[in-house]
Structures are given as structure tokens and as C-alpha cells.
A = this chain, B = another copy of it.
Amino acid sequence: MIHASLDDTTGETLGFAMEQLLVAGALDVSFTPLYMKKNRPGVKLEVICHRSDERKLLEIIFRETTTLGVRISESRRAVMTRELRQVETPFGPVRVKRAHWQGVVKESPEYEDCRKAALRAGVSLQAVYQSALAQTDTEGEMTE
């Protein structure tokens, strides 16, 4: 995880940097609003990445933002195992992610599939979500 506090980078530049970091392999990129000295609204940039991508992502951060130094920390992770199944909805096929962790099971329809189905069918994103979740008891085709 790479952290940097920024008070002299514009929102436009940050949006561009997020795009670059995701393309370059960052697992997750987020911004948090920050109150900095001299009444400056700032932003904390946090990038989660594999250690092997660290150097490449640092280069983007140093090139695109105005930061002169970042902090790097490691942490343990607890993750759910997951698998993708495809279900049929009245709005077309949608993949649903099923995740497990020690007895906890949950399912979440894939955003990009729901988004496309909603735009195609002219219904709300929620309508597709609900519809996909309602199908998760019926047998789906295992994908991934």
C-alpha cells in the first residue's frame, strides 16, 4: 500500500493519475479528503498493489502528482474465495460472483454486466441487480 498526501495537485490531475495507475496494474486506487496546514484542502492518495508493481506505480505517482515523498506499508489480508456463475435474467445474461469465507456465503452480480443490461433494456441498474440475485438459486453455468 502506497500513501501520499497532496495539497497542490488539481482534481483533474488526480483523475488522470487514477486512470494511469489502474492501467498500470494497481489493484485499487482511492482518494480521501484531507485538511492540511495553511487552510488547504488536500487529498490522501492510497494505492493498493502487488509488491512487484511498486516501482512502476511510484514512477506514475512521482511523474503525475506534485508529491515529493510517499509512505509505503504492508498489511495482512483476509479474503473470501470467489467463483463466477452466469445467470439468465429477463434483461440478458449476467455473471454473479459467489464468495465464501468460513461459512459466510454471499453473491453479487457483476457491475459491468448489469450496467450493460440496464442500458440495453432501458431499465434501472437496481432492476437488473434484483433480477440477477433472484436467479441465484437456480443452477447457473460455472465460468471464470
| Chain A residues near B (Cβ < 8 Å) | 1, 3, 5-16, 18-19, 22, 28-44, 48, 58-59, 62-64, 66, 68-73, 75-80, 82, 97, 99, 101-104, 106, 108, 111, 115, 118, 124-126, 130, 133-134
Contacts and interface: CB of A to CB of B under 8 A. Distances in A.
A110 to B, nearest CB: 11
Given A70-B77, A108-B66, A14 B32 contact: no
13 contacts: A5-B28, A5-B30, A13-B125, A15-B40, A29-B36, A32-B34, A63-B104, A64-B124, A68-B82, A69-B78, A72-B75, A73-B75, A130-B133
A14 B43 contact: no
Contact of A8 (B18, B30, B108): B108
Contacts of A14: 39-41
Given A71-B1, A77-B70, A102-B59, A126 B13 contact: yes
Residue from A12, A28, A79, A111 with most neighbouring chain B CB atoms (10 Å):
A12
Contact of A125 (B28, B64, B103): B64
Nearest to A21: B37
A111 B78 CA distance: 29
